[in-house]
C-alpha cells in the first residue's frame, strides 16, 4: 500500500511542477521574496533541529493533514502528526552540524511554490564522526492565510541515517 501512496504523491508533485510557471513571470517580487524567506526559515529551523530544538520547525510547517515527508532516513509520512513525529525522532539524535541549500531553483503557480536544490553541509554520525551531507531535495510550500508554509519535503537517503 505504501508503494501505491508513493506513486500518487509523485504523480501529484509532477502535476503541480508541470503546471507551475517560473516565479519571474507569474509572481510578484514580494511573493518571490516571501518564498525565499520561507526557504531560509526552513533551513534555519533544520539547523536548530540538529541541536534538538524543534520550535522553529513547528512554525515553518503547515499543520494540515495533507503534508508529506520523505526524508534522508527513509520512510513516507503523510499528515502533520506523523511528520512531527519524524522531526521529533530526528531532533532526539542531536546530529549537530549545519546544512545549507545550494543550486536552488524556485518555481511557483498560484499558491504553490516548489524549491529544487541540493542540501550541503555536515552532521555528526552515531559513531561521533563528521558525516558530509550532499543530497538532492525538493521542498513544497503553500500560501496559507497569506504566509508560505512548508507542505512537503523530499530528499535523497543518507546512509548514516537509514533505518
For residue 16, is pLDDT > 90? no
pLDDT digits 0-9 by tens, 76-134: 999 999 999 999 999 999 999 999 999 999 999 889 999 999 999 999 987 889 999 99
| Rounded Cα distance, 163 and 72, in Å | 10
Q: What is the DSSP string of the chain?
A: -HHHHHHHHHHHHHHHHHH-EEHHHHS-HHHHHHHHHHHHHHHHHHHHHTTT--HHHHHHB---TT-EEEETTEEEEESHHHHHHHHHHHHHH---SEEEEEEEEEEEETTEEEEEEEEEEEEE-TTS-EEEEEEEEEEEEEEETTEEEEEEEEE---TTT--
The per-residue pLDDT of the chain, averaged, comes to 87
Domain parsing of the chain, residue ranges = 2-155
| Rounded Cα distance, 154 and 74, in Å | 10
Q: Are 140 and 116 in contact (CB under 8 A)?
A: no
| CATH match of 2-155 with 3.10.450.50 | yes
Q: Are 124 and 130 in contact (CB under 8 A)?
A: yes
- pLDDT computed for residue 32 by the predictor: 86
Amino acid at each position: 500500500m505504501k508503494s501505491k501512496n508513493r506513486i500518487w504523491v509523485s504523480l501529484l508533485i509532477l502535476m503541480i511542477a508541470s503546471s507551475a510557471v517560473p516565479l519571474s513571470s507569474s509572481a510578484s517580487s514580494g511573493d518571490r521574496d516571501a518564498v525565499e524567506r520561507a526557504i531560509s526559515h526552513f533551513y534555519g529551523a533544520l539547523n536548530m533541529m540538529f541541536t534538538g530544538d524543534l520550535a522553529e520547525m513547528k512554525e515553518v510547517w503547515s499543520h494540515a493533514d495533507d503534508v508529506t515527508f520523505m526524508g534522508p532516513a527513509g520512510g513516507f509520512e503523510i499528515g502533520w502528526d506523523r511528520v512531527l513525529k519524524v522531526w521529533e525522532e530526528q531532533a532526539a539524535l542531536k546530529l549537530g552540524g549545519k546544512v545549507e541549500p545550494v543550486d536552488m531553483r524556485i518555481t511557483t503557480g498560484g499558491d504553490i511554490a516548489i524549491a529544487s536544490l541540493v542540501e550541503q553541509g555536515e552532521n555528526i554520525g552515531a559513531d561521533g564522526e563528521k558525516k558530509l551531507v550532499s543530497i538532492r531535495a525538493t521542498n513544497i510550500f503553500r500560501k496559507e492565510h497569506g504566509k508560505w508554509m512548508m507542505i512537503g519535503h523530499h530528499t535523497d537517503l543518507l546512509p548514516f541515517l537509514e533505518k
